């Protein structure tokens, strides 16, 4: 019997090709600009002190929001433990091609091994976290399309159709994200996603037995997701607030890094620059940290904004950004190697004001999942 081939996403040749593609794109973007010229734009004194701290603030905000989601699902986990998982997952995401897919898939396992959170609860929390990030990014994109002002006018001046074209592109991105978030909320709130995934896995020859053995875990994941997504709009907005602040912290970091290379953009212009390019980075997930694609975006945007010697300034900015990412990747892998497995499962107590409310919401979530399973079962044709 021939050995099974590794999945395409795990192929070292594919990862090497994607990494080479990113490096080639980066080299083409900054061709003709010497490294010394880019380094000469950087204020290293301030960079060494402040740059690592700014991303650390973003990590803390995300960890705070993620911890709140876990608490709403019944898992009491320390802020420090969630922060460690967040940094480790970021290191995995930024350091390898297709790392975003690997990092998202590994988060429930990291939560289980590092904090004791059960896999079903961890998977539901990852879905809720992603939903919060998408919703808040859509809100920021919509605000930029409506209130971007002169920054949008300058960024879109070179596009066919002028600034109106850029406003339409940004608004379209906001609409797509909002629709995807709405579809995710309906699907996850209906208590059906994990069961559908289990049904698909059960048909595959290599993982069918795994899906059958872990039927209860898939059911628990549906129940946990339904419990979160059936919460009121106000509760979900409060859960999403830290992620909105994390996006703002990322734009503040971009504004500060640009000042370190001598580019004095306003804070509003930094938002108009970073948030759409954050969407571009998400689309270019196939290269490590959007290597090459995001760098081209920064260089093009700074030139559109009329920054003097824009390519050299973009090179200095990108060098700062990549050095900062490399530092946090090193921290993440150090935490991954040094972390101790959780000895006990996370404490499962509801974070709502009263235990009766928490148990009522759990009962409602169970009812939604079982109602869906019953409707699916009754709709299937019976064999003659």
3-state secondary structure of 348: strand
d(CA 294, CA 301): 10
Is the pTM above the cut of 0.75? yes
The rounded distance, in Å, linking the Cα atoms of 118 and 40 is 50
The pLDDT of residue 176 is 92
Per-residue pLDDT 10s for the chain (384 aa) are: 344 444 444 556 655 665 565 666 666 666 666 566 666 666 666 666 677 788 899 999 999 999 999 998 888 999 999 999 999 999 988 877 777 777 888 888 899 888 888 888 888 898 899 999 999 999 999 999 888 888 888 887 777 778 888 889 889 989 999 999 998 888 777 656 555 555 555 555 555 555 566 566 667 777 788 888 888 888 888 999 999 999 999 999 889 888 888 888 888 888 888 888 877 777 666 666 666 677 777 888 888 888 888 888 888 888 888 888 888 999 999 999 886 666 555 554 434 444 444 455 555 544 444 444 444 444 444 444
Burial-class residue 202 by CB neighbours within 10 Å (0-12, 13-18, 19+): middle
pLDDT of res. 24: 66
Q: Could you tell me the two tokens for 91?
A: 């290191």
Angle 328-284-102 (CA atoms, 0-180°, nearest 5)?
60
At what angle are helices 215-229 and 119-147 packed, to 10 degrees? 40
Q: In sequence order, what are the residues at sequence separation of 6 or more whose Cβ sits closer than 8 angstroms to the Cβ of residue 359?
A: 350
pLDDT the model gives residue 384 = 41
For residue 202, what are the CA distances in angstroms to 90, 206, 215, 329, 338?
31, 9, 10, 36, 36
pLDDT, position 37: 65
pLDDT, position 376: 40
How confident is the model at residue 345, as a pLDDT?
52
SS3 content of the chain, % helix, strand, coil (to 5): 75, 0, 20
What six digits make up the tokens of 351? 């974070």
Closest CA relative to residue 107, chosen from 124, 90, 89, 129 = 89
At 58 the pLDDT is 92
């Amino acid at each position: 019997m021939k050995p099974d081939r590794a999945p395409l996403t795990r192929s070292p040749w594919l990862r090497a090709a994607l990494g080479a593609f990113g490096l080639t794109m980066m080299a083409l973007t900054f061709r003709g600009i010497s490294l010394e010229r880019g380094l000469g734009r950087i204020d290293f004194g301030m960079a060494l002190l402040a740059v690592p701290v700014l991303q650390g603030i973003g990590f803390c905000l995300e960890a705070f929001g993620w911890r709140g989601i876990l608490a709403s699902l019944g898992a009491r986990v320390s802020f420090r433990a969630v922060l460690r998982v967040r940094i480790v997952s970021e290191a995995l995401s930024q350091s390898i091609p297709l790392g975003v897919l690997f990092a998202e898939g590994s988060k429930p396992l990291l939560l289980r091994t590092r904090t004791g959170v059960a896999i079903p609860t961890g998977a539901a929390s990852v879905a809720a976290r992603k939903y919060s990030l998408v919703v808040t990014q859509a809100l920021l994109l919509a605000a930029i399309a409506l209130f971007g002002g002169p920054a949008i006018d300058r960024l879109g001046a070179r596009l066919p159709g002028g600034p109106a074209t850029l406003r339409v592109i940004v608004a379209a991105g906001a609409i797509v994200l909002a629709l995807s978030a709405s579809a995710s909320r309906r699907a996850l709130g209906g208590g059906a996603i994990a069961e559908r995934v289990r049904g698909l896995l059960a048909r595959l020859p290599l993982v069918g037995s795994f899906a059958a053995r872990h039927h209860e875990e898939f059911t628990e994941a549906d129940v946990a997701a339904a419990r979160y997504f059936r919460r009121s709009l106000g509760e979900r907005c409060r859960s999403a607030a830290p992620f909105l602040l994390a996006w703002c912290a990322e734009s503040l970091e971009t504004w500060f890094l640009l000042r370190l290379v001598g580019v004095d953009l306003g804070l509003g212009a930094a938002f108009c620059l970073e948030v759409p390019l954050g969407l571009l980075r998400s689309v270019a997930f196939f290269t490590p940290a959007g290597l090459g694609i995001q760098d081209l975006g920064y260089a093009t945007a700074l030139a559109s904004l009329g920054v003097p010697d824009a390519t050299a300034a973009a090179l200095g900015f990108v060098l700062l950004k990549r050095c900062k990412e490399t530092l946090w990747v090193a921290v993440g892998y150090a935490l991954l190697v040094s972390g101790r497995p959780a000895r006990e499962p996370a404490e499962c107590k509801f974070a709502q004001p009263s235990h009766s409310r928490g148990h009522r919401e759990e009962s409602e979530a169970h009812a939604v999942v079982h109602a869906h399973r019953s409707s699916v079962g009754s709709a299937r044709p019976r064999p003659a």
